[in-house]
């Protein structure tokens, strides 16, 4: 089981995702750098926890809405044959 994030981490993460949705993705290191740039005075621990929360949120959203590019190409090759 994972650790529970505090309300401070979740609040900060949600605020950052709402204000800057295009600056985050599923890569923790990229998100860590962006959180560091967008927040002033946050400790290393808060920065890392916030980046982890954002990364996990984006990964879960991506898993719920997968792109079906592989299926489309499979159907096209079946139709050609």
Full DSSP string of 4-34? PPPHHHHHHHHHHHHH-GGG--S-HHHHHHH
For residue 50, tell me if it sits in a domain. Answer: yes
DSSP code per residue over 23-67: G--S-HHHHHHHHHHH-SS--HHHHHHHHHHHHHHHHHHHHHS--
Whole-number pLDDT of residue 65: 86
Per-residue pLDDT of the chain (81 residues; tens, 9 = 90+): 567 778 999 999 999 999 999 999 999 999 999 999 999 888 999 999 999 999 999 999 988 887 765 555 555 555 555
Domains held by the chain: number: 1
Output the six-digit token pair for 42: 């946050």
For residue 1, tell me if it sits in a domain. Answer: no
Whole-number pLDDT of residue 29: 96
| Residue in the block written with tokens 């900060």 | 12
Whole-number pLDDT of residue 66: 77
Whole-number pLDDT of residue 5: 75
For residue 2, tell me if it sits in a domain. Answer: no
CB of 21 within 8 A of CB of 11? no
Domain extent at residue 44: 7-80
What is this structure's pTM?
0.74
Q: Residue 47 maps to which CATH number?
A: 1.10.60.20
């Amino acid at each position: 089981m994972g650790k529970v994030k505090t309300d401070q981490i979740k609040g900060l993460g949600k605020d950052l995702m709402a204000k800057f949705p295009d600056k985050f993705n599923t890569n923790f290191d990229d998100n860590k750098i962006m959180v560091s740039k967008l927040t002033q005075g946050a400790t290393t621990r808060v920065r890392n926890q916030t980046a982890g929360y954002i990364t996990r949120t984006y990964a879960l959203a991506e898993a719920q809405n997968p792109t079906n590019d592989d299926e489309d190409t499979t159907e096209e090759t079946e139709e050609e044959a």
